[in-house]
Structure 1
Amino acid sequence: MTARNVLWIMCDQLRFDYLSCAGHGSLATPNIDRLAARGVRFTRAYVQSPVCGPSRMSFYTGRYMRSHGANWNQFPLRVDEPTLGDASKALGVRNVLVGKTHMRADDDGLDRLGIDRASDIGVHVSQCGFEPFERDDGLHPTASGGGRTRYDEHLRARGFGGANPWEDWANAGDAEGGLASGWLLAHADKVARVDEAESETPYMTRRAMEFIADAARDGRPWCLHLSYIKPHWPYIAPAPYHALYGPADVKPAVRDAAERVDPHPVYAAFMDLRVSRNMARDEVRARVIPAYMGLIKQIDDQLGELFAFLESEGLADTTLVAFTSDHGDYLGDHWLGEKDLFHDCSVKVPLIVYDPSPAADGTRGTVCDRLVEAIDLAPTIVDWFGGRPRPNVMEGRSLLPLLHGRTDLPWRRYAVSEYDFSMLEVRAALGLAPRDSRLFMLFDGRWKLVHAPGFRPMLFDLADDPDEVRDLGGDPTHAPEIARLRDLLLDWALRDHARVTMDDDAILAYGPATQLERGVMIGYTDEAEVAQARADYGLD
């Protein structure tokens, strides 16, 4: 059989509804739409945490946040945490990165075990199981010692000088009297100073194509994770993408004045964050959202180039393509900025999967409304390469049966997401200890429960309130629904998630015959009974 490959594309902070195939009225994404026409578009895909770091660690491990423990950005992933890279390596597959992971290595664990970071195993565990063909998390401001990435050197080599070309060129515009920093929302309508061809998205696309060409000489199957840095802030786009959209293309904010009347205390604290107060202002949205849309349009154009390259290399018929995002962006919806809570614009993501095999012909161009989680992609990739995802390690489920039209299979009843907000000022505003600064979401396809330890729950009925503007968590008439959903959350929380070293098959193979074969004779009365048991078990 011809070697199979995987192209796993992830955008950063791309909302599920900012694609034309998902119904956006102004933003045209024809290349992503064509991918959807060849594959399956999943309309209810949820991430396991609505912030970059923990969400990505769930994608890369196939495990919930409560399992891998990397609860927020810059929280290290344990040195022994199993990843997709481990499963790929066992199958002879190169697991390769171009772009962002937001993974931080477990330096304490590496030191404790005496692992050299430059060794093969040191690189493997320090890069979340990826071979870092091009690692760039996309945020390297001057204040934190930026200007050290390969992309920065690339910009310098092309004449974009200064101490930090990422900040001064790729993410800044020109203003009277100096630079207009893309960090500042007031400058989102400026044109980035960098040439479009040298901006982050085309650069990463070229690097992906360079890897694919290089891999053809290597000959091994590969899984390439092309992880775009955009449309994540700083919100500023190069020409011509800075001017493709304007205030007239900005959809009205999804919000209601009633949301600000006696809100849940945690929700109120998030609405009071600086980013929320500013993104709730219409004039800020009118500047930011056109830039956000332009950055998405640039990604779509670059994907057109990439997909054409796959065709020219003869790889389109053997490469599974997955397109998704690590989370969404509030963009002023619900009076919020960023992506910290569990409304669909934050926690639901686009997910399109194209399986080129004939088994998927019957589902091409369809949509699937099954509840899908980010942790499903890792076992899907393992399954595609002919491996068997280990359910005691990867908590997700392979999507291949759904891609192949197997609608008869039982599926999950709910999706779960978690958030640890201990690193935000919200924790101090609420007077909480770090261990108590947690939120849990459970969504069963209609009802969305947000469990906030120490506070009343939040509850939304997406059948009657698809915009999620009416919190029913304080209404006593909904107490039975809350109790039912809490029971489901408890069922999820009590499931074994730490037994990663003992495979299910090994447990199923263990029994009385195994003990007897090892000479363990617990409960037997005499030699005759042992002899009979050995005969019954076929040990003689």
Structure 2
Amino acid sequence: MTKKKNVLFIMCDQLRYDYLSCAGHPTLKTPNIDSLAARGVRFANCYVQSTVCGPSRMSAYTGRYVRSHGSTQNGIPLRVGEPTMGDHLRELDVRCALIGKTHMVADQEGMQRLGIDPDSIIGVHVAQCGFEPYERDDGLHPSTDYDADPVYDTYLRDHGFDADNPWEHWANSGEGEDGENLNGWLLAHADKAARIPQEHSETPYMTRRAMRFIEEAESRGQSWCAHLSYIKPHWPYIVPAPYHDMYSAKDVKPAVRAVSERDNPHPVLAAYQRERYSVNFSRDEVRERVVPAYMGLIKQIDDQMGVLFRFLEERGLFENTMIVFTSDHGDYLGDHWLGEKYMFHDVSVKVPLIVYDPSPAADATRGAVMDHLVEMIDMAPTFLDYLGGGAKPHVLEGRSVLSLLRGEKSSSWRRFAVSEYDYSGERARLALALPVGDCRLFMITDGRHKLVTGPGVAPILFDLAADPDELVDLGRDPGKADAIHRLETALERWLQTPANRITVSDTWVTSADEKFPHFDPLIEQGVLIGYWDEAELAGQYAARERWLAKR
């Protein structure tokens, strides 16, 4: 291996953990992603820290839980001063670049208060999750302010695809028989081909941009971390030919749901089942039209992984580049009578995670599937570890998975995984008549049971061993009181230990321990306080002198 090391951090948006052939999907074939799994390790139990794009990604980029970094919902800025992956890796002289989506909202008020020029190098890093924005594209409707001037729109216009909003008009709309525009946001048009030729669509475009960045960094001899962040298979559910009709209704897996889930459901679950996207995804005809498009978007991503991996092979970059393939959350697609991703069933909160470590030390685990409870916050400390940086447990709440990749036995791996959701901005708050501060849900799982709880609502409990599809809520079952209590105790412990002291390390705190010889209460260091009189103080001075004389 060369001395220079790199990281390629690939993140899809809204990709379910079970929509890969290596994860057991019966008809969707993803040979290129599978090939990465064969070269690395597939983690079968990776949980994100929130089931919403923004907070989930902020946790990935900071290596910190939502309760610690404070960006609890889409549109809530990541505050100035939160250390990010880019900050940590730049200390190692690693060029850390974004190619694609972050869903980051800059803390403009905080930057103004601190006198940080948004156009300065520091201001750009603060506004872009610590990344160099090689190209940012959040793939959102232009009425939002995530992408003020997306480069992709300019690219489309330069290639003859002009419109007020080329991203929407060409890449995310279909075309009717008379040439009329068919809105790709509407689920009814998911079976249409997007108007854009596939080579100009978002996924191939962003793949090329990533390869361009890598070529540039390599030509300069730079160690790099490229965050290739696709905006698909997130809605709009529309895909260019030939992917639009590769799959059909016969390829759609039956929805994982039971009539009993609508019979006296948990109030929060009931509120989300009533949302329009859930009502529509509960219709079979909607699933039969949308899910094939979702699968086509994934197939396109897999084909682009083939392009990207060949590019890396030709340059020998598999020899010194750690590669991670994952997603920011899943998609209900009608399971449990839900659409979108806002609750905590595995189809939403569990994501695919494949990690390829090129080090010879990882040879013994290649192709393995590991069941350890892994969290998305583990990626930042893993990259830091792989690139030779020191651990920062006072800042990074995740754990490096390098020891797992290299087959090292660990009896102290985490026993619980945690995720959070702030639903104060959702209609569920109004339905439940709860104050804003109480609209927080927490999920904790030990791999056997999963508990969902929060202020003002009853707990939800699933027995994952007996009920892997999570169809039966045991939160009101008296026979499960012990399991609920155990998980509630673990969650309370977790809530009591946020990583808020980030300005100094644990080593800084413990560095004075040696000044307390043998923890002898008669010998004190530093400022002497609490003494009664001169005689007591003189005794302390004498004890010090005796100790010093023995050293």
TM-score of Structure 1 vs Structure 2, range by shorter chain:
over 0.9
Aligned to 1:530: 544
> How far apart in 2 are the matches of 1:512 and 1:406?
32
Look up the equivalent residue of 1:531 and give its one-letter code: E
| Map 1:400-439 → 2, pairs under 5 A | 400-439=402-441
Native 8 Å contact 1:16 1:22 kept in 2: yes
Aligned to 2:338: 336
Aligned to 1:36: 37
Aligned to 1:62: 63
Counterparts in 2 of 1:2 and 1:264: CA distance versus 1, 3 Å:
same
Deviation at 1:533, TM superposition (A): 3.6
Native 8 Å contact 2:140 2:146 kept in 1: no
SS at match of 1:457: strand
Question: Under a length normalisation based on structure 1, what TM-score does the superposition of the two structures give?
Answer: 0.97
Once the two structures are superposed, residues 290-344 of structure 1 have per-residue CA deviations (whole angstroms, 9 ceiling, x without a partner) of 0000000000000100011011112111000000000000000000000000000
Native 8 Å contact 2:434 2:456 kept in 1: no
Counterparts in 2 of 1:535 and 1:119: CA distance versus 1, 3 Å:
farther
| Map 1:479-490 → 2, pairs under 5 A | 479-490=481-492
Segment of structure 1 superposing worse, 175-184 or 269-278? 175-184
- Residue 504 in structure 1 maps to residue 506 in structure 2: yes
| Map 1:105-254 → 2, pairs under 5 A | 105-141=106-142, 148-176=149-177, 178-254=180-256
Identity of aligned residues (%): 61
Native 8 Å contact 2:67 2:498 kept in 1: no
Once the two structures are superposed, residues 445-503 of structure 1 have per-residue CA deviations (whole angstroms, 9 ceiling, x without a partner) of 11000003111100000111010000010112211211111111101111142111120
> How far apart in 1 are the matches of 2:549 and 2:245?
81
Aligned to 1:295: 297
Native 8 Å contact 2:42 2:370 kept in 1: yes
Counterparts in 2 of 1:145 and 1:369: CA distance versus 1, 3 Å:
closer
> How far apart in 1 are the matches of 2:469 and 2:510?
46
Counterparts in 2 of 1:143 and 1:479: CA distance versus 1, 3 Å:
closer
Aligned to 1:275: 277
Deviation at 1:143, TM superposition (A): 7.7
Count of residue correspondences? 537
> How far apart in 2 are the matches of 1:10 and 1:143?
22
Look up the equivalent residue of 2:473 and give its one-letter code: D
Select 1:368's aligned residue among 359, 367, 370. Answer: 370
Once the two structures are superposed, residues 100-147 of structure 1 have per-residue CA deviations (whole angstroms, 9 ceiling, x without a partner) of 000111011100000001111111111111011011111134587978
Counterparts in 2 of 1:333 and 1:190: CA distance versus 1, 3 Å:
same
Select 1:520's aligned residue among 519, 527, 531. Answer: 527
Aligned to 2:96: 95
Aligned to 1:473: 475
Aligned to 1:17: 18
Segment of structure 1 superposing worse, 216-225 or 156-165? 216-225
> How far apart in 2 are the matches of 1:52 and 1:102?
7
> How far apart in 1 are the matches of 2:333 and 2:498?
37
Native 8 Å contact 1:93 1:223 kept in 2: yes
Native 8 Å contact 2:105 2:146 kept in 1: no
Native 8 Å contact 2:326 2:354 kept in 1: yes
Counterparts in 2 of 1:137 and 1:143: CA distance versus 1, 3 Å:
closer
> How far apart in 2 are the matches of 1:414 and 1:476?
23
SS at match of 2:139: coil
Segment of structure 1 superposing worse, 225-234 or 477-486? 477-486
Deviation at 1:509, TM superposition (A): 1.1
Structure 1 vs Structure 2 CA RMSD: 1.7
Deviation at 1:362, TM superposition (A): 0.2
> How far apart in 1 are the matches of 2:148 and 2:357?
39
Once the two structures are superposed, residues 48-100 of structure 1 have per-residue CA deviations (whole angstroms, 9 ceiling, x without a partner) of 00110000000001110000000011110010111111110111111111000
Native 8 Å contact 1:142 1:167 kept in 2: no
> How far apart in 2 are the matches of 1:10 and 1:35?
14
Deviation at 1:531, TM superposition (A): 2.4
Counterparts in 2 of 1:306 and 1:143: CA distance versus 1, 3 Å:
closer
Aligned to 1:79: 80
Native 8 Å contact 1:375 1:395 kept in 2: yes
Aligned to 2:452: 450
Look up the equivalent residue of 2:246 and give its one-letter code: L
> How far apart in 1 are the matches of 2:158 and 2:311?
26
Native 8 Å contact 1:140 1:147 kept in 2: no
Gaps of 5+ in 2: 518-522, 532-536
> How far apart in 2 are the matches of 1:268 and 1:221?
49
Deviation at 1:532, TM superposition (A): 2.7
Deviation at 1:2, TM superposition (A): 1.9
Look up the equivalent residue of 1:96 and give its one-letter code: A
> How far apart in 2 are the matches of 1:331 and 1:12?
14
SS at match of 2:323: strand
> How far apart in 2 are the matches of 1:147 and 1:335?
36
Question: Under a length normalisation based on structure 2, what TM-score does the superposition of the two structures give?
Answer: 0.95
SS at match of 1:222: strand
